[in-house]
């Protein structure tokens, strides 16, 4: 898939954003980038990406502006802040937000974009660092269907499971479904590993038996092996997962929906946060069950 002659802005060069940006460069796009920490973007600059000191300076040079930041507050800042890009982006620009944010903010961005003769899509992703590196992300998209159709060539560079979900905010709601399923699932994965260790079993053999059966999941296949190796580095940060669970709980309350599994998972991750483990990966939940693992 080629993106020649397309000028794409990419804001947020993190664990996943860097890999996503690399794929866009390799597909032929001219990439314009901004990140709070320039050092994290040096590899992309060496590949030809053009660096800007603020999102506001970046925006006029782009046909499409992508955001992949940590929190809804960060997204508000890069879009609407004093140096935000919405004020300087040219008419006709398409905004694609890959951040896991709130449906409410997705709608706010769309309304502002429309008022300025621009288009927007909320397109949160799933697949972690591995999915981003291998361009195998699941991308769930909300916004106008015509805009989705126009941007599909960009999504195809970044992922393999790309689904248009409906109007603005729908992508974020689907991402909440994804995070809810992962939250309780990670409890199950970690409890299974803790049980197998307590029973004196070989963890690798246990995974070889259960990962292809009814218990199979992405977390079991991709994160459980990291646990067995004592690798708790982030494919997805605990601090961001807590943020996502908080959004899901808030949205569920608005719909008068009770989610006890999600509440339990969030409380467990908050326990890890209190231990100073915010920067570790979600698989570090295992440490609640097996304190013999000490994070360096």
Contact, 58 vs 34, CB < 8 A? yes
Alpha carbon distance 260, 228 (integer Å): 28
- Whole-angstrom distance, CA of residue 90 vs CA of residue 61: 8
d(CA 243, CA 102): 10
Please tell me the distance from the alpha carbon of residue 64 to that of residue 220, in angstroms, as a whole number: 36
Is 254 one of the annotated active-site residues of the chain?
no
| Angstrom distance (rounded) from CA 268 to CA 278 | 12
H or E segment to which residue 224 belongs: helix 224-228
Q: Considering the candidates 18, 56, 107, 175, report the single residue annotated as catalytic.
A: 175
φ, ψ for residue 233 (rounded to 5)? -70, 155
* Positions of E strands within the chain: 7-11, 30-34, 50-51, 64-67, 94-97, 119-122, 125-126, 137-143, 159-166
How far is the C-alpha of 58 from the C-alpha of 67, rounded, in Å?
12
Nearest Cα residue to 126 out of 90, 197, 52, 180 = 180
* Residues recognised as catalytic: 175
């Amino acid at each position: 898939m080629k993106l020649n002659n397309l000028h794409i802005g990419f804001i947020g060069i993190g664990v996943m954003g860097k890999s996503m940006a690399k794929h866009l460069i390799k597909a032929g796009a001219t990439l314009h980038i901004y990140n709070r920490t320039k050092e994290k973007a040096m590899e992309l600059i060496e590949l030809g990406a053009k660096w800007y000191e603020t999102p506001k300076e970046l925006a006029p040079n782009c046909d499409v502006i992508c955001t992949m930041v940590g929190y809804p507050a960060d997204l508000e800042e890069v879009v609407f802040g004093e140096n935000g890009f919405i004020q300087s982006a040219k008419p006709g620009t398409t905004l694609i937000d890959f951040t896991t944010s709130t449906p409410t903010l997705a709608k706010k961005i769309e309304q502002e974009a429309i008022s300025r003769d621009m288009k927007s899509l909320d397109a949160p992703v799933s697949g972690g660092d591995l999915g981003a590196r291998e361009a195998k992300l699941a991308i769930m998209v909300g916004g106008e269907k015509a805009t989705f159709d126009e941007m599909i060539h960009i999504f195809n560079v970044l992922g393999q499971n790309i689904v248009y979900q409906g109007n603005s905010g729908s992508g974020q709601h689907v991402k909440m479904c994804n995070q809810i399923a992962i939250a309780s699932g990670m409890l199950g994965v970690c409890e299974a590993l803790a049980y197998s260790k307590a029973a004196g079993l070989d963890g690798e053999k246990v995974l070889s038996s259960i990962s292809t059966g009814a218990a199979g999941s992405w977390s079991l296949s991709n994160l459980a092996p990291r646990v067995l190796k004592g690798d708790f580095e982030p494919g997805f940060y605990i601090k961001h997962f807590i943020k996502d669970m908080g959004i899901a709980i808030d949205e569920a309350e608005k719909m008068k929906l009770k989610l006890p599994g999600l509440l339990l998972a969030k409380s467990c991750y908050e326990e890890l946060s209190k231990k100073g483990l915010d920067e570790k990966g979600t698989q570090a939940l295992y440490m609640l069950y097996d304190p013999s693992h000490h994070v360096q």
